[in-house]
Amino acid sequence: MLAMFFWAFVIGGLICVIGQLLFDVAKLSPGHTMSVLVTAGAILSGLGLYEPLVNFAGAGATIPITSFGNALATGAMQEVQRHGIVGVLTGMFEVTSSGISAAIIFGFIGSLIFKPKG
């Protein structure tokens, strides 16, 4: 378990470094960077490489935004297995809903209680 913490730190940190390099070296805007990472996550997932990474690094692989692409692709793939090709359309949010719904809910609550500080 301690090894898990260690690898979560290292892998999570490395994914962030990739993001930083996209910022600084490729000079992408944050929006572009996030899109690239999320797409990379989906592709790795399609190749079956993301799940081993999650097994290995735990939160180090599930917390970065790449896992969002992975979760979308995984959800769709599971649904494909169950219901055939239509699953590509229907299964997308099967696994990921928590991140988005949490963001919407807390975003809205945030707008009720906070003011931007500037």
Span 20-59, contacts to other proteins by CB under 8 A? 20-25, 27, 30-31, 33-35, 37-39, 41-43, 45-46, 51-53, 55-59
Which of left, alpha, beta for 48 (phi over 0: left; psi -120 to 50: alpha)?
left
Take residue 64 and report the two structure tokens written for it.
């970065």
Report how far apart the first and last C-alpha atoms of the chain are (Å, whole number). Answer: 41
Tell me how far, at minimum, the Cβ of 12 lies from other proteins, in Å: 3
Tell me how far, at minimum, the Cβ of 50 lies from other proteins, in Å: 11
Take residue 85 and report the two structure tokens written for it.
């090709």
Tell me how far, at minimum, the Cβ of 10 lies from other proteins, in Å: 7
Tokens 């993301």 -> residue: 50
Segment 60 to 99, residues that bind other proteins, using CB under 8 A: 60, 62-69, 72-73, 76-77, 80, 85, 88-89, 92, 98-99
